[in-house]
């Protein structure tokens, strides 16, 4: 079960270049390409002549050309050429999906095209600010359903177990973190503080912390598919953290932003589009790369757990599961998705309500 009337990340902008890109989104095979003006188009990846994937074809001036018998389709999915200038038969078209590029992403709308409202796109301006937030990114494929990927991000207590050696560090620190969870109009946000704590290995590598730190994590889930994270640490007891005024000029200040885009490939597999942005040593590209490599390692660790968990739950779906205190944000996040699905399936007509669909403003002060 998916929310269909939503923008999903289909690719990073830089994944769609000369060649068409075939990908499966919400269970449907789609092909992404750029028209001659460079604008993104997304079509069903199945030629309406003999069913060959269009992604095996070529981008041509008028659109995309099937690699089997040469039919050409424009960005709207209309067949505009049958080779030999024969008449295009009526009905020769493939489904087109609304698509838009923003913040380094290709977003696609898999639901009713009538409701594809660009104004509700999740914003992530940091991807456009390479001076303050130089970043690197990756597309990770997980054989795990999107809800489990979301769960993973909504309970950061797993950092102390799965990611001891990178961004997690000491498990007790996470267990004792102060935490506040608030429901937002279209998701949930939580904040965690770990004052006077031992910094995790990734942070130490980044800025060379010698002693303890005051550490924070801010996580916002924007239903149904984006998690926006701001993390950092600063020398313990400086009082700086209280006002959310860290100073990146200080040597003992670490800060990073993570974007997590969660796009279902199928019910049980997911594309995970993530980026890590360096907010502590912006002028050093090797620092940005080092951070990226630490986070990439971290998500490979998640991949192992998530895929094994998915297999277990598929096999033993009826066994009881208990809830613990750490599940609060996770449960809120799931409910936000449930509400969207209920709205889609129950409503006669789909409506956006501003009060529900606006992303709550991020905490100021960065």
From CA 232, how far away is CA 195, in angstroms rounded?
A: 11
CB of 24 to its own copies, least distance (A): 9
Q: Considering the rule CB under 8 A, would residue 211 count as an interface residue with its own copies?
A: no
From CA 161, how far away is CA 157, in angstroms rounded?
A: 8
Angle between helices 328-346 and 146-154 (to 10 degrees): 140
Residue 200 · residue 169 · CB < 8 Å:
yes
**Which x/- pattern, by CB under 8 A, does the window 236-275 give for its own copies?**
----------------------------------------
Q: Which CB sits closer to its own copies, 151 or 214? A: 151
Closest CA to 279 of 104, 123, 131: 131
From CA 132, how far away is CA 249, in angstroms rounded?
A: 12
CB of 156 to its own copies, least distance (A): 10
From CA 299, how far away is CA 72, in angstroms rounded?
A: 40
Q: Is the four-CA dihedral 154, 155, 161, 164 of positive or negative sign? A: positive
**Token pair listed for 331:** 């449960």
Q: Which CB sits closer to its own copies, 92 or 277? A: 92
CB of 319 to its own copies, least distance (A): 6
CB of 109 to its own copies, least distance (A): 20
Contact segment (CB under 8 A) with its own copies among 106-114, 194-202, 249-257, 311-319 equals 311-319
Q: Which of residues 159-178 bind its own copies (CB under 8 A)?
A: 160-162, 171-172, 174-176
Rounded (10°) CA dihedral 307, 309, 312, 317: -120
CB of 329 to its own copies, least distance (A): 13
Q: Considering the rule CB under 8 A, would residue 325 count as an interface residue with its own copies?
A: yes
**Which x/- pattern, by CB under 8 A, does the window 138-157 give for its own copies?**
-------------x---x-x
Using DSSP bridges, classify how beta strands 178-184 and 187-197 pair: parallel, antiparallel or unpaired.
antiparallel
From CA 145, how far away is CA 149, in angstroms rounded?
A: 7
Q: Which CB sits closer to its own copies, 65 or 102? A: 65
Q: Coil, strand, or helix at residue 312?
A: helix
Q: Is 351 exposed, middle or buried (0-12, 13-18, 19+ CB in 10 A)?
A: exposed
From CA 280, how far away is CA 207, in angstroms rounded?
A: 8
CB of 364 to its own copies, least distance (A): 30
CB of 310 to its own copies, least distance (A): 9
User: Site for its own copies (CB under 8 A): which residue of 1, 19, 39, 89?
Assistant: 89
Residue 336 · residue 186 · CB < 8 Å:
yes
Bridge partner list, 190: 181, 219
Q: Which CB sits closer to its own copies, 266 or 290? A: 266
Q: Which CB sits closer to its own copies, 68 or 244? A: 68
Residue 217 · residue 199 · CB < 8 Å:
no
CB of 41 to its own copies, least distance (A): 19
**Which x/- pattern, by CB under 8 A, does the window 43-82 give for its own copies?**
-xxx-xxxxxx--xx-------xxxxxxx-------x--x
CB of 7 to its own copies, least distance (A): 23
Q: Considering the rule CB under 8 A, would residue 37 count as an interface residue with its own copies?
A: no
Q: Which CB sits closer to its own copies, 53 or 185? A: 53
Q: Report how far apart, in Å, the C-alpha atoms of 341 and of each of 9, 121, 220, 350 are.
A: 18, 18, 20, 11
Residue 54 · residue 63 · CB < 8 Å:
no
Q: Which CB sits closer to its own copies, 36 or 172? A: 172
Q: For binding to its own copies (CB under 8 A), which residues are involved?
A: 29, 44-46, 48-53, 56-57, 65-71, 79, 82-84, 86, 89, 91-92, 151, 155, 157-158, 160-162, 171-172, 174-176, 304-305, 308-309, 311-313, 315-316, 319-326
């Amino acid at each position: 079960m998916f929310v269909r009337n939503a923008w999903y990340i289909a690719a990073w902008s830089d994944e769609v270049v000369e060649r068409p890109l075939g990908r499966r989104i919400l269970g449907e095979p789609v092909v992404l390409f750029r028209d001659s003006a460079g604008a993104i188009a997304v079509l069903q990846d199945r030629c309406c002549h003999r069913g060959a994937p269009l992604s095996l074809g070529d981008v041509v001036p008028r659109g995309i050309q099937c690699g089997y018998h040469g039919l050409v389709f424009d960005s709207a999915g209309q067949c505009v050429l049958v080779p030999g200038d024969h008449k295009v038969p009526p009905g020769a078209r493939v489904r087109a999906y609304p698509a838009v590029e923003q913040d380094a992403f290709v977003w696609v709308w898999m639901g009713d095209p009538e409701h594809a409202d660009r104004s509700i796109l999740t914003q992530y301006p940091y991807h456009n600010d390479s001076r303050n937030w130089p970043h690197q990114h990756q597309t990770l494929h997980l054989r795990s359903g999107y809800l489990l990927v979301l769960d993973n991000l909504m309970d950061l207590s797993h950092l102390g177990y799965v990611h001891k050696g990178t961004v997690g560090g000491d498990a007790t620190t996470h267990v004792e973190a102060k935490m506040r969870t608030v429901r937002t109009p279209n998701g949930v946000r939580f904040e965690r503080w770990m004052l006077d704590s031992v910094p995790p290995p990734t942070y130490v590598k980044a800025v060379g912390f010698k002693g303890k730190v005051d550490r924070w994590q801010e996580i916002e889930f924007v239903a149904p598919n984006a998690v926006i994270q701001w993390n950092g640490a600063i020398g313990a007891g400086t009082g700086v953290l209280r006002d959310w005024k860290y100073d990146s000029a200080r040597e003992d200040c670490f800060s990073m932003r993570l974007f997590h885009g969660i796009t279902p490939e199928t019910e049980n597999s997911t594309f995970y589009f993530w980026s890590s942005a360096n907010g502590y040593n912006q002028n050093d590209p090797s620092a940005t790369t080092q951070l990226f490599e630490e986070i990439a390692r971290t998500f490979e660790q998640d991949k192992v757990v998530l895929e094994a968990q998915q297999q277990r739950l598929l096999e033993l779906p009826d066994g009881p599961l208990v809830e613990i205190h750490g599940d609060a944000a996770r449960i809120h996040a799931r409910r936000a998705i449930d509400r969207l699905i209920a709205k889609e399936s129950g409503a006669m007509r789909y409506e956006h309500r501003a009060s529900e669909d606006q992303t709550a403003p991020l905490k100021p002060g960065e």
